[in-house]
Amino acid sequence: MAWADGWQALLVDEIQMEPELVTEPRLAGVLQELMKREPLFHRRELVNSRDSFERETAEDIWETGASGSRYSREFVWATLQRRYERGNVDEYETERWQIRDSYLREIAPSTYLLTYTLWGQDDRLTRRLTVWQGSIRDGWKALYHQGTVAG
């Protein structure tokens, strides 16, 4: 049994852990358009009022935060509203967060899984995922968003 365990460990050591995520060339324009909307809820030129929030999000959107807590659409809106009332420039702009490793996959007709890595937020590294539905012509709605602390 020990030999089998050692063989499996050897195989695992030789396997690349990180996936090689490459967006299909046909999705390059969609990826570029959706990345203009990320990090989600930190682009005040897109979401800065209840009307724009409703335009950019599905009625049943929910979010899983970096803490693992789940947040309803109304909770997310209340959080954004407090942020807007303070009138501060968003942290994304002031702290110059960095987005890397963006990847887009079409998971159903006109429905896309967008992932990226966000560095900033008090030197925190998070992996982000947003499910988007729509098109460049008709507009976009976020269906789900998640942030996972990675370092």
Where exactly are the structural domains of the chain?
A: 25-149
pTM over 0.75? The answer is yes
Q: Which residue, 116, 113, 103, is CA-closest to 42?
A: 116
Which residue is it, tokens 């008090």?
Answer: 122
Which residue is it, tokens 């407090």?
Answer: 82
* pLDDT value of position 7: 54
Number of H helices, E strands in the chain: 5, 6
Distance CA 101, CA 5 (A): 34
CATH 3.40.1280.10 is held by the domain 25-149: no
pLDDT digits (tens, 9 = 90+) for 133-151: 999 999 999 999 999 999 8
pLDDT digits (tens, 9 = 90+) for 112-130: 999 999 988 677 889 999 9
> First CA to last CA across the chain, in angstroms?
35
Please name every residue paired with 118 in a beta bridge, in sequence order, or none if there are none.
Answer: 99, 126
Name residue 102's amino acid: S
